[in-house]
Structure 1
Amino acid sequence: MTLNRRQLLLTTPALTALTAPLLGACAAMPPTVPDGLAAGEQRAWELEGQRFWIWLPRDYARTSARWPLVIFLHGSGERGTDLQKVKVHGPPKLVAQGQAWPAILVCPQLEDGRRWDPERLHRLLVALQARLHIDPQRCTGTGLSLGGFGMWHWATAYPRDLAAIAPVCGFGDPAKVAAMRAVPVRAYHGDQDTVVPVAPHVACVDALRAAGGQASLTIYPGVGHDSWTPAYNDPELLPWLLAQKQT
């Protein structure tokens, strides 16, 4: 086929110049809410074989800006198949009580007898980032007791997954935390905790600091295992999580 002069002028560079503004406009459009979810409501969802509660901010579909993500890991008592149990403590409880988070909140549930697996959590994060309007540099995590252990182990195994973590009454392996020296930590524990002693948590934080990491540990005097109640009522916790960003 013979092309005329006008057709020859519409070469690849010319087409790129014409379509670039259109592509930019599409990229700047607000995201759509996935089927089964609703902005401003905590809903049950499932990805990668994992069931969880998810909260989308009220303005999720009104702005093109990408949203920070917070993943919450529950404790051993909330394992099972009843997803309502995940709401008994921490961020999902606060959202259920009417607190509007300015971030996407995801709260998965473990099956009975299971422990938090870093590989499984990594796959969930990848799936969430593929389906939601998430800022990949502002993904953070927090968890209590068994979930606190889970957060330390996840950040150690996949230090590029999370911009920061806030573990509550759960510690990691001091011999391995150097791998996550770029992940800031804001930890909490009660000094009278007889279920998960505070000393190993102190050792974990000290080891991270010695490796060049940033870590703080708030120890509540006279508080037992339930350090999550004061921790998740700390008015500085959520702003701290949302302020963290990978470089």
Structure 2
Amino acid sequence: MQRSFIRLLLLSTFFASLQVSAQERGQLAAMKATAEGGYNFWLYAPPEYVVDGERVPVLVFLHGRSLCGTDMQKVRRYGPLDALQRGLYFPCFIIAPQNPGGPWKPEKIMQCLEWVEQNYDVDSNRFYAIGMSLGGYGVMDFAGTYPDRIAAAMPICGGTTLKDKSGLGRLPLWILHGTADRAINIEESKKVVRALQESGQDKLLRYSWWAGASHGDLARLMYSHQAYDWLFWHNLADNPRETYREIDITLSDLKDVYQQLVPEWTQFDIVRKITTP
């Protein structure tokens, strides 16, 4: 693991306890009809980029069915943007597209990511994806379609619509699901695991089945720095690619995850356009 990653992980935990001044805030903007052929999306840029002009990673968040539509404020109800508002620190760009309805389309997600890559100085070796429920399907479909562009992915309570699942064996993938999930049966995730195991493509695969956990229990993952520490460890520049197995997350680890955040810390300004350093 590169030293820069160690520093990034330490900073992500350290800064979570700090209050930033107004001039050090990140920026959040609603990007509508911006990426041709892509979705409307929220774009967050951290202080490292806005203030210091550092090249930072990009995290793609895909929401579930309940947030589909055209009201972009819905996308901020849960997930990384809500975690950001509650005080979790993200030293990265966040792309949070809104799906108007139906399955997530990998090519439309990639249009958003490539637009950001073309317009901002981001680290193209560190693109990550996380999503839950319908978004869990979206993450697997997206990562399995573009495994050579995504450094690591974490699909939660999902599955995949891909007939060819081989791409999912080419990147670090941590699949998580609860055994008591009534919204999406855990069998949807297990199908992917079995397919990768049977084809011998499970070297980079991790999976966690949380006993007795419901659909809502798994949402806590997106408010835990551990999930993002695991994602951010990975880098496309690493050859050969490997997965980080030292970080483990259990449901008990996340029991008080919401209370551990710092809700009084607002670390971004909503703007019309992200500032380019």
Q: TM-score, normalised by structure 2?
A: 0.70
Deviation per CA, 1:151-204: give whole Å up to 9, x if none: 111112222221111001001258522223221111211111122111221231
Q: Percent identity?
A: 27
Among candidates 239, 242, 247, match of residue 229 of structure 2: 239
Query: Which consecutive unaligned segments of at least 5 residues does structure 1 have?
Result: 1-37
Residue in 1 aligned with 2:62? 73
Which aligned pairs between 1:78-157 and structure 2 lie closer than 5 A? 78-111=67-100, 113-157=101-145
Deviation per CA, 1:89-135: give whole Å up to 9, x if none: 11111012232211111101011x33210111122111110011211
Query: Which consecutive unaligned segments of at least 5 residues does structure 2 have?
Result: 1-23, 238-277
Which aligned pairs between 1:148-227 and structure 2 lie closer than 5 A? 148-172=136-160, 176-209=164-197, 210-227=200-217
Tell me the distance in 2 between the aligned counterparts of 1:58 and 1:65: 9
Tell me the SS of whatever aligns to 1:240: helix
Tell me the distance in 2 between the aligned counterparts of 1:109 and 1:200: 23
1:229 pairs with 2:215: no
Tell me the distance in 2 between the aligned counterparts of 1:141 and 1:116: 13
The structure, 1 or 2, with the larger RCO (C-alpha pairs under 8 Å, 6+ apart) is 2
Cα pair 2:63 2:133 within 8 Å, conserved: yes
Q: Give, as a single letter, the amino acid of the residue that structure 1 aligns with 2:29.
A: R
Tell me the distance in 1 between the aligned counterparts of 2:153 and 2:133: 14
Cα pair 1:39 1:59 within 8 Å, conserved: no
Cα pair 1:180 1:213 within 8 Å, conserved: no
| TM-aligned CA deviation for residue 63 of structure 1 | 3.5
Cα pair 2:88 2:225 within 8 Å, conserved: no
Cα pair 2:69 2:99 within 8 Å, conserved: yes
Tell me the distance in 1 between the aligned counterparts of 2:90 and 2:225: 13
Cα pair 2:141 2:162 within 8 Å, conserved: no
Tell me the SS of whatever aligns to 1:236: helix
Q: Give, as a single letter, the amino acid of the residue that structure 2 aligns with 1:87.
A: R
Deviation per CA, 1:219-244: give whole Å up to 9, x if none: 22222221432322444211111111
Query: RMSD in angstroms over aligned alpha carbons?
Result: 2.0
Among candidates 35, 46, 50, match of residue 48 of structure 1: 35
